[in-house]
Structure 1
Amino acid sequence: MSFTYHMVPCEYFEAQSQDKPYRPEPMVAGREEFIHCTDGEQNLADTGNRFYKGDPRPFYALLLDLEKLTSPFKYEDNARIFPHIYGALNREAIIAVLPFPRAEDGTFLPPA
């Protein structure tokens, strides 16, 4: 199996309908056409610290099974380390919703 992660604020993910495909806030708002993902737990913590530093909201790390995705998954080019899912995320591909812990100083740690 191949896996990737997507991070999302807990409150946003919990507010989504569980019987519909998941769409992140920027996609719903029409600002993006893809879902940001990352490979590896350490990269995910680095990504959280880069893009959400100072954001006090709790986050989840969605563990995704790439073999179950119904939307295209791809890297834009070899230089990019972060892949994208082009389209909504079918719920069957979400195999775990992991707490995304933080250190005392608020920095993200690899998911539990």
Structure 2
Amino acid sequence: MIYHVVPLAEWDADPDRPYAPASLAEDGFVHCSPDEETTLTVVNAFYRTAPRPLLALLLDEDRLTARCVWEAAVPGPPPGVAEGTLFPHVFGPVDREAVQRVLEVRWDEEGRAAGLS
């Protein structure tokens, strides 16, 4: 399973179509993370002010019709992620059938992502 972070309103915006976030048009791929720990680190680095609730989609790579490539973060991984960590990048829309679970980001008292439930 790989993880993708998305605000609930964005995920629900067009439920009858494959999911295509802005990053697909801007960067050419959908940003994903390899595991829960890395996902929470990414949330704390880039999504602390994102609209809530914030979700983590657990995607089954085998159910994606778009190509998924594991690559190094450019220019480097976010603070707290080990150098050399590879990130899954999905080069096309995410098939909703590939979403195996939808979890919500839990926040601590200091506004940091503390877990997924």
TM-score by length of structure 1 reads 0.85
1:35 corresponds to: 30
Q: Pick the aligned partner of 1:93 from 89, 98, 112.
A: 98
Q: SS where residue 20 of structure 1 aligns?
A: coil
CA distance in 2 between partners of 1:96 and 1:46 (Å): 20
Q: Which runs of 5+ in 2 are unaligned?
A: 73-83
CA-CA distance at 1:21 after TM superposition:
0.5
* Count of aligned residue pairs for this structure pair: 107
Counterpart contact for 2:107–2:113, Cα < 8 Å: yes
CA deviations over 1:10-69 (Å, ceiling 9, x no partner): 1111112x2210011233xx3121000001111110000011234453200001011111
Question: Residues 67 and 56 (structure 1 numbering): CA distance in 2 closer, same or farther, change over 3 Å?
Answer: closer
Counterpart contact for 1:45–1:110, Cα < 8 Å: yes
- The structure that is strand-richer by fraction is 2
**After TM superposition, where is structure 1 displaced by more than 3 Å over at least 4 residues in a row?**
none
CA distance in 2 between partners of 1:90 and 1:111 (Å): 22
Specify the code of the residue in structure 1 equivalent to 2:7.
Answer: P
Specify the code of the residue in structure 2 equivalent to 1:46.
Answer: T
Alignment pair present for 1:21 and 2:26: no
Q: Which runs of 5+ in 1 are unaligned?
A: none
CA distance in 2 between partners of 1:20 and 1:14 (Å): 10
